[in-house]
Chains A and B, each alone.
Chain A
Amino acid sequence: MSTTTDASSIPEAGAAERRPRSGGPAGTDAAKPRKGGRELLASLPWIGPALILIFGVVLFPAVVMFYNSTRDISISGLDKGSVGFDNYIEVFTFPYFWPIFGRTIVWVVVVVAATVVISLGLAQILNKAFPGRRIVRLAVIIPWAASVVMTTMVVYYGLEPYFGIINKFLVDVGLIATPEGYGWTRNPETAFAWSIVVAVFVSLPFTTYTILAGLATVPGDVLEAAKMDGAGPVRTYFNVVLPQLRGALSVAVLINIINVFNSLPILKVMTGSIPGYDADTIMTMIFKYIQNQHKVDVASALSVVAFLIVIVIVAVYVKVVKPMKEV
Protein backbone atom coordinates (compact mmCIF):
# COMPACT_ATOMS: atom_id res chain seq x y z
CA MET A 1 0.00 0.00 0.00
CA SER A 2 2.60 2.46 -1.04
CA THR A 3 0.21 5.28 -1.72
CA THR A 4 -1.73 5.42 1.49
CA THR A 5 -0.29 8.32 3.32
CA ASP A 6 1.40 7.66 6.59
CA ALA A 7 -0.90 8.62 9.41
CA SER A 8 1.65 10.83 11.08
CA SER A 9 1.97 12.95 8.01
CA ILE A 10 -1.71 13.74 7.82
CA PRO A 11 -1.76 17.34 8.93
CA GLU A 12 -4.00 17.16 11.94
CA ALA A 13 -6.91 15.39 10.38
CA GLY A 14 -8.63 15.97 13.66
CA ALA A 15 -11.53 17.64 12.01
CA ALA A 16 -12.53 14.42 10.42
CA GLU A 17 -11.40 11.98 13.09
CA ARG A 18 -13.72 13.13 15.71
CA ARG A 19 -13.34 11.02 18.70
CA PRO A 20 -9.71 10.63 19.55
CA ARG A 21 -8.56 13.99 18.40
CA SER A 22 -11.44 16.17 19.42
CA GLY A 23 -9.16 17.88 21.90
CA GLY A 24 -8.51 20.54 19.35
CA PRO A 25 -5.20 21.39 17.75
CA ALA A 26 -2.61 19.62 19.81
CA GLY A 27 0.93 20.82 19.73
CA THR A 28 1.77 22.67 22.87
CA ASP A 29 4.21 20.83 25.06
CA ALA A 30 1.92 20.90 28.05
CA ALA A 31 -0.92 19.31 26.20
CA LYS A 32 1.08 16.39 24.87
CA PRO A 33 1.14 13.91 27.73
CA ARG A 34 -2.48 14.60 28.53
CA LYS A 35 -3.41 13.98 24.97
CA GLY A 36 -1.43 10.71 24.93
CA GLY A 37 -3.25 9.53 27.99
CA ARG A 38 -6.59 10.51 26.54
CA GLU A 39 -5.85 8.67 23.32
CA LEU A 40 -4.82 5.60 25.22
CA LEU A 41 -8.00 5.84 27.23
CA ALA A 42 -10.06 6.22 24.07
CA SER A 43 -8.45 3.07 22.70
CA LEU A 44 -9.41 0.97 25.70
CA PRO A 45 -12.96 0.09 24.67
CA TRP A 46 -11.49 -1.26 21.45
CA ILE A 47 -8.41 -3.09 22.58
CA GLY A 48 -9.28 -3.61 26.25
CA PRO A 49 -11.29 -6.82 25.85
CA ALA A 50 -8.49 -8.36 23.82
CA LEU A 51 -5.95 -7.43 26.45
CA ILE A 52 -8.06 -8.77 29.28
CA LEU A 53 -8.83 -12.04 27.54
CA ILE A 54 -5.25 -12.71 26.54
CA PHE A 55 -3.63 -11.74 29.78
CA GLY A 56 -6.38 -13.17 31.93
CA VAL A 57 -5.66 -16.57 30.50
CA VAL A 58 -2.04 -16.49 29.39
CA LEU A 59 -0.27 -14.42 32.02
CA PHE A 60 -0.47 -16.89 34.88
CA PRO A 61 0.78 -19.94 32.98
CA ALA A 62 3.54 -17.84 31.46
CA VAL A 63 4.63 -16.67 34.91
CA VAL A 64 4.54 -20.28 36.10
CA MET A 65 6.81 -21.21 33.22
CA PHE A 66 9.38 -18.56 34.12
CA TYR A 67 9.08 -19.43 37.80
CA ASN A 68 9.47 -23.16 37.21
CA SER A 69 12.60 -22.57 35.19
CA THR A 70 14.38 -21.50 38.38
CA ARG A 71 13.01 -24.27 40.58
CA ASP A 72 13.97 -27.85 41.31
CA ILE A 73 10.91 -29.92 40.45
CA SER A 74 10.87 -33.61 41.27
CA ILE A 75 9.89 -36.21 38.71
CA SER A 76 6.46 -36.48 40.27
CA GLY A 77 5.96 -32.73 39.93
CA LEU A 78 6.70 -31.42 43.42
CA ASP A 79 8.53 -28.15 43.88
CA LYS A 80 11.71 -28.74 45.91
CA GLY A 81 12.87 -25.15 46.09
CA SER A 82 14.94 -22.68 44.13
CA VAL A 83 18.04 -23.64 42.18
CA GLY A 84 18.82 -20.28 40.64
CA PHE A 85 20.04 -20.74 37.10
CA ASP A 86 21.06 -24.39 37.35
CA ASN A 87 18.37 -25.47 34.92
CA TYR A 88 19.67 -23.00 32.36
CA ILE A 89 23.17 -24.28 32.90
CA GLU A 90 21.89 -27.79 32.24
CA VAL A 91 20.24 -26.63 29.04
CA PHE A 92 23.36 -24.98 27.68
CA THR A 93 25.84 -27.62 28.81
CA PHE A 94 23.86 -30.38 27.14
CA PRO A 95 26.36 -31.53 24.49
CA TYR A 96 23.74 -31.67 21.75
CA PHE A 97 22.27 -28.21 22.43
CA TRP A 98 24.02 -26.33 19.63
CA PRO A 99 23.38 -28.93 16.92
CA ILE A 100 19.74 -28.89 18.02
CA PHE A 101 19.68 -25.12 17.89
CA GLY A 102 21.14 -25.14 14.39
CA ARG A 103 18.64 -27.74 13.25
CA THR A 104 15.81 -25.64 14.62
CA ILE A 105 16.90 -22.67 12.53
CA VAL A 106 17.22 -24.86 9.43
CA TRP A 107 13.77 -26.26 10.16
CA VAL A 108 12.13 -22.84 10.40
CA VAL A 109 13.91 -21.27 7.44
CA VAL A 110 13.45 -24.18 5.04
CA VAL A 111 9.83 -24.86 5.94
CA VAL A 112 8.71 -21.23 5.85
CA ALA A 113 10.62 -20.39 2.67
CA ALA A 114 9.32 -23.45 0.82
CA THR A 115 5.82 -22.80 2.08
CA VAL A 116 5.78 -19.21 0.83
CA VAL A 117 7.21 -19.98 -2.59
CA ILE A 118 4.87 -22.91 -3.22
CA SER A 119 1.89 -20.99 -1.84
CA LEU A 120 2.49 -18.07 -4.19
CA GLY A 121 2.37 -20.49 -7.11
CA LEU A 122 -0.67 -22.31 -5.77
CA ALA A 123 -2.53 -19.07 -5.22
CA GLN A 124 -1.88 -18.09 -8.83
CA ILE A 125 -3.40 -21.33 -10.06
CA LEU A 126 -6.39 -21.07 -7.73
CA ASN A 127 -6.98 -17.42 -8.60
CA LYS A 128 -7.42 -18.20 -12.28
CA ALA A 129 -10.88 -19.09 -13.49
CA PHE A 130 -11.28 -22.67 -14.72
CA PRO A 131 -14.00 -25.28 -14.46
CA GLY A 132 -13.75 -27.16 -11.18
CA ARG A 133 -11.80 -24.48 -9.39
CA ARG A 134 -14.12 -24.61 -6.42
CA ILE A 135 -13.42 -28.30 -5.89
CA VAL A 136 -9.69 -27.76 -6.08
CA ARG A 137 -9.95 -24.92 -3.60
CA LEU A 138 -11.84 -27.19 -1.22
CA ALA A 139 -9.21 -29.90 -1.61
CA VAL A 140 -6.48 -27.45 -0.69
CA ILE A 141 -8.26 -26.67 2.57
CA ILE A 142 -8.22 -30.30 3.74
CA PRO A 143 -4.71 -30.48 5.23
CA TRP A 144 -5.68 -27.42 7.22
CA ALA A 145 -8.93 -28.93 8.41
CA ALA A 146 -7.32 -32.22 9.36
CA SER A 147 -5.34 -32.37 12.54
CA VAL A 148 -1.62 -32.15 11.96
CA VAL A 149 -1.05 -35.25 14.05
CA MET A 150 -3.31 -37.33 11.85
CA THR A 151 -1.81 -36.08 8.61
CA THR A 152 1.63 -36.88 9.94
CA MET A 153 0.46 -40.27 11.15
CA VAL A 154 -0.79 -41.23 7.69
CA VAL A 155 2.48 -40.24 6.06
CA TYR A 156 4.38 -42.05 8.80
CA TYR A 157 2.52 -45.27 8.14
CA GLY A 158 2.86 -44.83 4.42
CA LEU A 159 6.60 -44.75 4.96
CA GLU A 160 6.80 -47.80 7.21
CA PRO A 161 8.73 -50.77 5.89
CA TYR A 162 6.56 -53.84 5.19
CA PHE A 163 3.11 -52.21 5.42
CA GLY A 164 3.60 -48.67 4.19
CA ILE A 165 1.88 -47.81 0.92
CA ILE A 166 4.45 -45.17 -0.05
CA ASN A 167 7.24 -47.67 0.49
CA LYS A 168 5.32 -50.24 -1.52
CA PHE A 169 4.95 -47.77 -4.35
CA LEU A 170 8.67 -46.98 -4.32
CA VAL A 171 9.46 -50.70 -4.35
CA ASP A 172 6.98 -51.34 -7.16
CA VAL A 173 8.45 -48.68 -9.41
CA GLY A 174 11.91 -50.05 -8.68
CA LEU A 175 13.38 -47.16 -6.72
CA ILE A 176 14.09 -49.34 -3.72
CA ALA A 177 15.74 -52.72 -3.93
CA THR A 178 14.82 -54.27 -0.58
CA PRO A 179 11.39 -55.93 -0.82
CA GLU A 180 10.19 -54.60 2.56
CA GLY A 181 11.00 -51.00 1.65
CA TYR A 182 13.35 -48.49 3.20
CA GLY A 183 13.28 -47.25 6.80
CA TRP A 184 12.64 -43.58 5.98
CA THR A 185 11.53 -42.83 9.50
CA ARG A 186 14.28 -44.95 11.04
CA ASN A 187 17.18 -42.74 10.01
CA PRO A 188 17.62 -39.21 11.33
CA GLU A 189 18.39 -37.55 7.99
CA THR A 190 15.53 -39.02 5.97
CA ALA A 191 13.08 -38.70 8.85
CA PHE A 192 13.95 -35.02 9.22
CA ALA A 193 13.63 -34.44 5.48
CA TRP A 194 10.20 -36.07 5.42
CA SER A 195 9.18 -34.00 8.43
CA ILE A 196 9.98 -30.88 6.42
CA VAL A 197 7.83 -32.16 3.57
CA VAL A 198 4.90 -32.75 5.92
CA ALA A 199 5.37 -29.40 7.64
CA VAL A 200 5.31 -27.57 4.31
CA PHE A 201 2.28 -29.56 3.22
CA VAL A 202 0.21 -28.63 6.28
CA SER A 203 1.35 -24.99 6.17
CA LEU A 204 0.32 -24.52 2.54
CA PRO A 205 -3.45 -24.11 2.96
CA PHE A 206 -3.33 -21.21 5.40
CA THR A 207 -0.59 -19.41 3.51
CA THR A 208 -2.24 -20.00 0.13
CA TYR A 209 -5.57 -18.74 1.39
CA THR A 210 -4.08 -15.65 2.94
CA ILE A 211 -2.46 -14.88 -0.39
CA LEU A 212 -5.72 -15.64 -2.22
CA ALA A 213 -7.55 -13.29 0.10
CA GLY A 214 -4.86 -10.71 -0.57
CA LEU A 215 -5.21 -11.23 -4.32
CA ALA A 216 -8.93 -10.65 -3.95
CA THR A 217 -8.24 -7.15 -2.73
CA VAL A 218 -6.09 -6.26 -5.74
CA PRO A 219 -8.26 -3.75 -7.59
CA GLY A 220 -9.22 -4.90 -11.05
CA ASP A 221 -8.62 -1.55 -12.66
CA VAL A 222 -5.04 -1.48 -11.49
CA LEU A 223 -4.44 -4.68 -13.37
CA GLU A 224 -6.21 -3.26 -16.38
CA ALA A 225 -4.12 -0.14 -16.18
CA ALA A 226 -0.96 -2.21 -16.09
CA LYS A 227 -2.18 -4.18 -19.09
CA MET A 228 -2.82 -1.01 -21.01
CA ASP A 229 0.65 0.22 -20.17
CA GLY A 230 1.84 -2.85 -21.98
CA ALA A 231 3.23 -4.68 -18.94
CA GLY A 232 3.60 -8.41 -19.40
CA PRO A 233 2.11 -10.82 -16.87
CA VAL A 234 5.44 -11.35 -15.11
CA ARG A 235 6.12 -7.66 -14.75
CA THR A 236 2.57 -7.03 -13.64
CA TYR A 237 2.93 -9.73 -11.02
CA PHE A 238 6.15 -8.40 -9.55
CA ASN A 239 5.40 -4.72 -9.89
CA VAL A 240 1.69 -4.55 -9.16
CA VAL A 241 0.41 -7.73 -7.54
CA LEU A 242 3.22 -8.61 -5.15
CA PRO A 243 3.40 -5.15 -3.55
CA GLN A 244 -0.32 -5.33 -2.99
CA LEU A 245 0.10 -8.73 -1.27
CA ARG A 246 2.72 -7.37 1.06
CA GLY A 247 0.42 -6.83 4.04
CA ALA A 248 -1.26 -10.22 3.93
CA LEU A 249 1.91 -12.08 3.02
CA SER A 250 4.11 -10.53 5.67
CA VAL A 251 1.62 -11.43 8.38
CA ALA A 252 1.24 -14.94 6.98
CA VAL A 253 5.01 -15.38 7.08
CA LEU A 254 5.14 -14.08 10.63
CA ILE A 255 2.46 -16.53 11.74
CA ASN A 256 4.22 -19.33 9.89
CA ILE A 257 7.54 -18.55 11.54
CA ILE A 258 6.00 -18.76 14.99
CA ASN A 259 3.93 -21.83 14.22
CA VAL A 260 6.73 -23.74 12.55
CA PHE A 261 9.14 -22.85 15.33
CA ASN A 262 6.65 -24.10 17.91
CA SER A 263 5.60 -27.16 15.92
CA LEU A 264 5.98 -30.37 17.83
CA PRO A 265 3.67 -33.13 16.52
CA ILE A 266 5.25 -33.64 13.11
CA LEU A 267 8.77 -34.24 14.36
CA LYS A 268 7.49 -36.12 17.37
CA VAL A 269 5.75 -38.66 15.16
CA MET A 270 8.24 -38.84 12.31
CA THR A 271 11.42 -39.05 14.40
CA GLY A 272 9.95 -40.50 17.59
CA SER A 273 11.54 -43.93 17.39
CA ILE A 274 15.03 -42.70 16.57
CA PRO A 275 17.52 -42.97 19.44
CA GLY A 276 19.86 -40.12 20.30
CA TYR A 277 19.40 -36.45 19.45
CA ASP A 278 20.30 -36.29 15.77
CA ALA A 279 16.87 -35.29 14.50
CA ASP A 280 15.69 -33.08 17.36
CA THR A 281 14.72 -29.45 17.35
CA ILE A 282 14.30 -27.29 20.43
CA MET A 283 10.63 -28.17 20.50
CA THR A 284 11.11 -31.95 20.50
CA MET A 285 13.85 -31.50 23.08
CA ILE A 286 11.42 -29.68 25.37
CA PHE A 287 9.03 -32.55 24.81
CA LYS A 288 11.73 -35.11 25.63
CA TYR A 289 12.59 -33.29 28.85
CA ILE A 290 8.95 -33.36 29.91
CA GLN A 291 7.78 -36.69 28.60
CA ASN A 292 10.81 -38.94 28.86
CA GLN A 293 12.91 -37.43 31.58
CA HIS A 294 10.12 -35.81 33.62
CA LYS A 295 12.20 -32.68 34.08
CA VAL A 296 9.57 -29.99 34.06
CA ASP A 297 12.11 -27.55 35.47
CA VAL A 298 14.68 -28.01 32.70
CA ALA A 299 11.91 -28.09 30.11
CA SER A 300 10.69 -24.73 31.43
CA ALA A 301 14.19 -23.30 31.21
CA LEU A 302 14.55 -24.49 27.63
CA SER A 303 11.11 -23.05 26.87
CA VAL A 304 12.20 -19.68 28.18
CA VAL A 305 15.28 -19.91 25.98
CA ALA A 306 13.10 -20.87 23.01
CA PHE A 307 10.77 -18.00 23.80
CA LEU A 308 13.65 -15.54 23.76
CA ILE A 309 14.97 -16.98 20.50
CA VAL A 310 11.64 -16.65 18.75
CA ILE A 311 11.15 -13.13 20.10
CA VAL A 312 14.50 -12.16 18.62
CA ILE A 313 13.59 -13.76 15.31
CA VAL A 314 10.23 -12.02 15.23
CA ALA A 315 11.69 -8.69 16.31
CA VAL A 316 14.25 -8.85 13.54
CA TYR A 317 11.55 -9.86 11.09
CA VAL A 318 9.23 -7.04 12.15
CA LYS A 319 12.10 -4.58 11.99
CA VAL A 320 13.19 -5.65 8.52
CA VAL A 321 9.88 -6.48 6.85
CA LYS A 322 7.66 -4.04 8.75
CA PRO A 323 4.40 -5.92 8.34
CA MET A 324 2.52 -2.88 9.64
CA LYS A 325 4.31 -0.27 7.63
CA GLU A 326 1.26 0.95 5.79
CA VAL A 327 -0.39 2.46 8.83
Chain B
Amino acid sequence: MSTLSIDHVSRWFGNVVAVNDITMTIGPGVTGLLGPNGAGKSTLINMMGGFLAPSTGTVTLDGQPVWGNEQIYRHIGIVPEREAMYDFLTGREFVLANAELHGLGEKEAQRALATVEMEYAQDRKVATYSKGMRQRVKMASALVHEPSLLLLDEPFNGMDPRQRMQLMDLLRRMGDEGRTVLFSSHILEEVEQLASHIEVIVAGRHAASGDFRRIRRLMTDRPHRYLVRSSDDRALAAALIADPSTAGIEVDVTEGALHIQAVDFGRFTALLPRVARDHGIRLLTVSPSDESLESVFSYLVAA
Protein backbone atom coordinates (compact mmCIF):
# COMPACT_ATOMS: atom_id res chain seq x y z
CA MET B 1 0.00 0.00 0.00
CA SER B 2 1.51 3.27 -1.08
CA THR B 3 0.47 6.86 -0.82
CA LEU B 4 1.70 9.52 -3.20
CA SER B 5 1.68 12.99 -1.69
CA ILE B 6 1.81 16.11 -3.77
CA ASP B 7 2.41 19.06 -1.49
CA HIS B 8 2.00 22.61 -2.76
CA VAL B 9 3.59 21.73 -6.07
CA SER B 10 4.01 24.32 -8.78
CA ARG B 11 5.88 24.11 -12.01
CA TRP B 12 6.54 26.85 -14.46
CA PHE B 13 8.34 26.92 -17.78
CA GLY B 14 9.72 30.41 -18.23
CA ASN B 15 6.74 32.69 -17.78
CA VAL B 16 4.18 29.96 -18.27
CA VAL B 17 2.73 28.36 -15.17
CA ALA B 18 1.87 24.78 -16.09
CA VAL B 19 0.99 23.55 -12.60
CA ASN B 20 -0.16 26.00 -9.97
CA ASP B 21 0.12 25.17 -6.27
CA ILE B 22 -1.43 21.71 -6.33
CA THR B 23 -1.82 19.66 -3.18
CA MET B 24 -3.30 16.18 -3.35
CA THR B 25 -2.89 12.73 -1.89
CA ILE B 26 -3.26 9.65 -4.04
CA GLY B 27 -3.98 6.46 -2.13
CA PRO B 28 -4.60 2.83 -3.09
CA GLY B 29 -7.23 2.17 -5.72
CA VAL B 30 -7.73 3.69 -9.13
CA THR B 31 -7.56 7.47 -9.37
CA GLY B 32 -8.34 9.37 -12.53
CA LEU B 33 -6.51 12.60 -13.25
CA LEU B 34 -8.96 14.48 -15.38
CA GLY B 35 -8.54 17.68 -17.31
CA PRO B 36 -8.68 19.13 -20.78
CA ASN B 37 -5.62 18.98 -23.02
CA GLY B 38 -3.01 21.46 -21.87
CA ALA B 39 -4.35 21.55 -18.31
CA GLY B 40 -1.02 20.42 -16.88
CA LYS B 41 -1.80 16.72 -16.47
CA SER B 42 1.37 15.55 -18.21
CA THR B 43 3.50 18.03 -16.29
CA LEU B 44 1.99 16.78 -13.04
CA ILE B 45 2.43 13.10 -13.97
CA ASN B 46 6.02 13.79 -14.95
CA MET B 47 6.63 15.30 -11.53
CA MET B 48 4.91 12.33 -9.89
CA GLY B 49 7.17 10.02 -11.87
CA GLY B 50 10.37 11.87 -11.03
CA PHE B 51 11.04 13.09 -14.57
CA LEU B 52 10.59 16.73 -13.78
CA ALA B 53 11.55 18.75 -10.73
CA PRO B 54 8.79 20.80 -9.16
CA SER B 55 9.62 24.52 -9.24
CA THR B 56 8.29 24.65 -5.68
CA GLY B 57 6.73 22.07 -3.40
CA THR B 58 7.45 18.38 -2.99
CA VAL B 59 6.30 15.06 -4.38
CA THR B 60 6.83 12.12 -2.03
CA LEU B 61 5.93 8.44 -2.10
CA ASP B 62 5.41 7.14 1.43
CA GLY B 63 7.65 9.94 2.67
CA GLN B 64 10.45 9.35 0.14
CA PRO B 65 11.18 12.14 -2.33
CA VAL B 66 10.51 11.13 -5.92
CA TRP B 67 12.76 13.63 -7.72
CA GLY B 68 16.41 12.69 -8.06
CA ASN B 69 15.93 9.36 -6.29
CA GLU B 70 16.31 6.44 -8.67
CA GLN B 71 15.75 3.92 -5.87
CA ILE B 72 12.12 5.05 -5.74
CA TYR B 73 11.55 3.21 -9.02
CA ARG B 74 11.56 -0.06 -7.10
CA HIS B 75 8.05 0.99 -6.11
CA ILE B 76 6.87 2.88 -9.19
CA GLY B 77 5.77 1.54 -12.54
CA ILE B 78 5.42 4.02 -15.36
CA VAL B 79 3.48 3.75 -18.59
CA PRO B 80 4.49 6.79 -20.65
CA GLU B 81 2.25 8.33 -23.23
CA ARG B 82 4.87 8.34 -25.96
CA GLU B 83 5.00 5.45 -28.33
CA ALA B 84 8.71 4.89 -28.71
CA MET B 85 9.95 1.76 -26.99
CA TYR B 86 12.97 0.09 -28.58
CA ASP B 87 11.08 -1.09 -31.63
CA PHE B 88 13.96 -3.29 -32.75
CA LEU B 89 13.36 -5.68 -29.85
CA THR B 90 10.69 -8.33 -29.62
CA GLY B 91 8.03 -7.86 -26.96
CA ARG B 92 9.67 -10.52 -24.81
CA GLU B 93 13.14 -8.99 -25.16
CA PHE B 94 11.73 -5.59 -24.26
CA VAL B 95 9.99 -6.77 -21.11
CA LEU B 96 13.00 -8.89 -20.17
CA ALA B 97 15.30 -5.87 -20.52
CA ASN B 98 13.00 -3.94 -18.22
CA ALA B 99 13.06 -6.83 -15.74
CA GLU B 100 16.84 -7.00 -15.84
CA LEU B 101 17.13 -3.29 -15.14
CA HIS B 102 15.21 -4.05 -11.94
CA GLY B 103 17.59 -6.87 -11.14
CA LEU B 104 14.93 -9.43 -12.08
CA GLY B 105 14.86 -12.01 -14.86
CA GLU B 106 13.05 -14.26 -17.26
CA LYS B 107 10.49 -15.51 -14.75
CA GLU B 108 9.19 -12.07 -13.81
CA ALA B 109 9.18 -10.94 -17.44
CA GLN B 110 7.12 -13.96 -18.44
CA ARG B 111 4.65 -13.40 -15.63
CA ALA B 112 4.19 -9.76 -16.63
CA LEU B 113 3.60 -10.76 -20.24
CA ALA B 114 1.00 -13.26 -19.04
CA THR B 115 -0.72 -10.59 -16.95
CA VAL B 116 -1.31 -8.45 -20.03
CA GLU B 117 -2.08 -11.50 -22.22
CA MET B 118 0.68 -10.77 -24.70
CA GLU B 119 2.40 -14.14 -24.68
CA TYR B 120 0.96 -15.01 -28.07
CA ALA B 121 2.85 -12.14 -29.75
CA GLN B 122 5.89 -11.96 -27.49
CA ASP B 123 8.34 -13.11 -30.15
CA ARG B 124 7.30 -10.52 -32.69
CA LYS B 125 9.20 -7.28 -33.07
CA VAL B 126 7.65 -4.36 -31.19
CA ALA B 127 7.72 -2.44 -34.49
CA THR B 128 5.02 -4.76 -35.83
CA TYR B 129 2.64 -4.22 -32.90
CA SER B 130 -0.64 -2.39 -33.04
CA LYS B 131 -1.28 0.52 -30.72
CA GLY B 132 -3.14 -1.68 -28.26
CA MET B 133 -0.42 -4.33 -28.23
CA ARG B 134 2.21 -1.69 -27.61
CA GLN B 135 0.19 -0.35 -24.75
CA ARG B 136 -0.05 -3.81 -23.21
CA VAL B 137 3.66 -4.47 -23.55
CA LYS B 138 4.32 -1.08 -21.98
CA MET B 139 2.04 -2.18 -19.15
CA ALA B 140 3.99 -5.42 -18.80
CA SER B 141 7.25 -3.50 -18.60
CA ALA B 142 5.77 -1.31 -15.86
CA LEU B 143 4.38 -4.27 -13.89
CA VAL B 144 7.41 -6.51 -14.07
CA HIS B 145 8.62 -5.54 -10.58
CA GLU B 146 5.15 -5.54 -8.98
CA PRO B 147 5.17 -1.83 -8.17
CA SER B 148 2.88 -0.42 -5.50
CA LEU B 149 2.34 2.76 -7.55
CA LEU B 150 1.41 2.67 -11.21
CA LEU B 151 1.39 5.90 -13.23
CA LEU B 152 -0.20 5.95 -16.68
CA ASP B 153 -0.23 8.99 -18.94
CA GLU B 154 -3.25 8.97 -21.26
CA PRO B 155 -3.24 5.16 -21.48
CA PHE B 156 -6.40 4.90 -23.56
CA ASN B 157 -5.34 7.28 -26.32
CA GLY B 158 -5.85 5.68 -29.70
CA MET B 159 -7.12 2.34 -28.37
CA ASP B 160 -10.13 0.66 -29.86
CA PRO B 161 -13.11 -0.07 -27.58
CA ARG B 162 -12.18 -3.70 -27.00
CA GLN B 163 -8.58 -2.89 -26.07
CA ARG B 164 -9.88 -0.09 -23.88
CA MET B 165 -12.10 -2.49 -21.99
CA GLN B 166 -9.30 -4.99 -21.51
CA LEU B 167 -6.99 -2.33 -20.13
CA MET B 168 -9.73 -1.00 -17.86
CA ASP B 169 -10.28 -4.50 -16.46
CA LEU B 170 -6.58 -4.84 -15.85
CA LEU B 171 -6.31 -1.48 -14.09
CA ARG B 172 -9.38 -2.24 -12.00
CA ARG B 173 -7.76 -5.49 -10.95
CA MET B 174 -4.57 -3.63 -10.02
CA GLY B 175 -6.60 -1.22 -7.92
CA ASP B 176 -8.48 -4.05 -6.23
CA GLU B 177 -5.17 -5.68 -5.36
CA GLY B 178 -4.38 -2.61 -3.29
CA ARG B 179 -2.04 -0.88 -5.69
CA THR B 180 -2.13 2.86 -6.14
CA VAL B 181 -3.07 3.39 -9.76
CA LEU B 182 -3.19 6.85 -11.29
CA PHE B 183 -4.07 7.51 -14.89
CA SER B 184 -4.62 10.75 -16.74
CA SER B 185 -7.28 11.35 -19.31
CA HIS B 186 -9.11 14.13 -21.01
CA ILE B 187 -11.95 11.80 -21.88
CA LEU B 188 -14.67 11.94 -19.32
CA GLU B 189 -16.29 8.57 -19.92
CA GLU B 190 -13.00 6.79 -19.33
CA VAL B 191 -12.55 8.36 -15.95
CA GLU B 192 -16.17 7.86 -15.02
CA GLN B 193 -16.07 4.17 -15.91
CA LEU B 194 -12.81 3.33 -14.24
CA ALA B 195 -11.85 5.65 -11.44
CA SER B 196 -13.15 5.33 -7.92
CA HIS B 197 -11.58 8.66 -7.18
CA ILE B 198 -11.17 11.69 -9.40
CA GLU B 199 -8.81 14.62 -9.34
CA VAL B 200 -9.71 17.40 -11.72
CA ILE B 201 -7.06 19.73 -13.09
CA VAL B 202 -8.09 22.80 -15.02
CA ALA B 203 -5.58 25.36 -16.31
CA GLY B 204 -2.87 24.11 -13.98
CA ARG B 205 -5.03 24.32 -10.89
CA HIS B 206 -6.57 21.63 -8.76
CA ALA B 207 -10.23 22.22 -9.53
CA ALA B 208 -11.89 19.39 -7.66
CA SER B 209 -11.26 16.17 -5.82
CA GLY B 210 -13.38 13.24 -4.71
CA ASP B 211 -15.66 10.69 -6.26
CA PHE B 212 -17.83 11.66 -9.15
CA ARG B 213 -20.91 12.42 -7.05
CA ARG B 214 -18.97 14.42 -4.54
CA ILE B 215 -17.54 16.56 -7.27
CA ARG B 216 -21.00 17.02 -8.62
CA ARG B 217 -22.23 18.14 -5.23
CA LEU B 218 -19.41 20.66 -5.03
CA MET B 219 -21.06 22.21 -8.00
CA THR B 220 -24.40 22.85 -6.33
CA ASP B 221 -24.01 26.56 -6.67
CA ARG B 222 -24.02 25.98 -10.40
CA PRO B 223 -27.27 25.59 -12.31
CA HIS B 224 -28.55 22.02 -12.55
CA ARG B 225 -30.57 20.90 -15.49
CA TYR B 226 -33.52 18.59 -15.25
CA LEU B 227 -35.70 16.98 -17.81
CA VAL B 228 -39.26 16.70 -16.49
CA ARG B 229 -42.30 15.12 -18.09
CA SER B 230 -45.66 15.56 -16.41
CA SER B 231 -49.40 15.36 -16.98
CA ASP B 232 -49.48 19.16 -17.50
CA ASP B 233 -46.13 20.61 -18.48
CA ARG B 234 -47.29 24.23 -18.89
CA ALA B 235 -49.08 24.44 -15.55
CA LEU B 236 -46.08 22.90 -13.84
CA ALA B 237 -43.72 25.33 -15.59
CA ALA B 238 -45.82 28.31 -14.51
CA ALA B 239 -45.87 27.18 -10.90
CA LEU B 240 -42.13 26.41 -10.77
CA ILE B 241 -40.90 29.61 -12.35
CA ALA B 242 -42.51 31.60 -9.54
CA ASP B 243 -39.96 30.13 -7.13
CA PRO B 244 -36.47 31.67 -6.90
CA SER B 245 -34.82 28.22 -7.03
CA THR B 246 -35.43 28.05 -10.78
CA ALA B 247 -33.64 30.23 -13.29
CA GLY B 248 -35.29 29.15 -16.50
CA ILE B 249 -37.77 26.69 -17.92
CA GLU B 250 -38.11 25.70 -21.52
CA VAL B 251 -41.22 24.00 -22.82
CA ASP B 252 -39.98 21.54 -25.38
CA VAL B 253 -43.02 20.89 -27.52
CA THR B 254 -41.49 18.31 -29.81
CA GLU B 255 -40.04 16.28 -26.91
CA GLY B 256 -43.11 16.81 -24.79
CA ALA B 257 -40.95 17.74 -21.83
CA LEU B 258 -39.68 20.59 -19.72
CA HIS B 259 -36.03 21.57 -19.54
CA ILE B 260 -35.63 23.16 -16.15
CA GLN B 261 -32.59 25.04 -14.95
CA ALA B 262 -32.40 25.08 -11.17
CA VAL B 263 -30.02 27.37 -9.33
CA ASP B 264 -30.67 26.12 -5.81
CA PHE B 265 -30.23 22.38 -5.85
CA GLY B 266 -31.56 21.59 -2.36
CA ARG B 267 -34.51 23.88 -2.54
CA PHE B 268 -35.55 22.78 -5.99
CA THR B 269 -35.56 19.08 -5.17
CA ALA B 270 -37.96 19.81 -2.30
CA LEU B 271 -40.04 22.22 -4.35
CA LEU B 272 -40.77 20.06 -7.37
CA PRO B 273 -42.82 17.26 -5.78
CA ARG B 274 -44.66 19.72 -3.51
CA VAL B 275 -45.69 21.97 -6.40
CA ALA B 276 -46.79 18.97 -8.44
CA ARG B 277 -48.96 17.66 -5.61
CA ASP B 278 -50.45 21.09 -4.82
CA HIS B 279 -51.48 21.54 -8.46
CA GLY B 280 -52.66 18.01 -8.97
CA ILE B 281 -50.01 17.35 -11.65
CA ARG B 282 -48.55 13.89 -12.12
CA LEU B 283 -44.79 13.74 -12.59
CA LEU B 284 -43.94 11.16 -15.25
CA THR B 285 -40.20 11.70 -15.63
CA VAL B 286 -37.71 13.60 -13.50
CA SER B 287 -34.16 13.11 -14.61
CA PRO B 288 -31.11 15.21 -14.18
CA SER B 289 -30.02 15.83 -17.75
CA ASP B 290 -26.47 16.78 -16.91
CA GLU B 291 -25.43 14.27 -14.30
CA SER B 292 -22.67 13.13 -16.62
CA LEU B 293 -19.07 13.91 -15.98
CA GLU B 294 -19.04 15.92 -19.15
CA SER B 295 -21.30 18.57 -17.69
CA VAL B 296 -19.48 18.62 -14.35
CA PHE B 297 -16.33 19.13 -16.27
CA SER B 298 -17.59 21.91 -18.47
CA TYR B 299 -18.78 23.77 -15.39
CA LEU B 300 -15.38 23.43 -13.86
CA VAL B 301 -13.68 24.61 -17.02
CA ALA B 302 -16.00 27.59 -17.29
CA ALA B 303 -15.51 28.52 -13.64
- On whether the two chains bind one another, the answer is no
Chain B residues in the interface with A (C-beta under 8 A):
none
